Amino acid sequence: MSLFRLLLRWVVLAVGAIVGVGFFLFAVLAFVVILLISRLTGRKPSAAFRMNRNPWAPRRATAPADAGDVVDIEAREVKDPAPLPLQPPHH
Per-residue pLDDT of the chain (91 residues; tens, 9 = 90+): 798 999 999 999 999 999 999 999 999 999 999 899 888 888 777 666 666 667 677 766 665 555 667 778 888 887 887 766 775 666 6
DSSP codes joined into one string, the chain? -HHHHHHHHHHHHHHHHHHHHHHHHHHHHHHHHHHHHHHHHT-PPPP-----S-TTSPPPPPPPTT------------SSPPPPTTSPPP-
pTM: 0.47
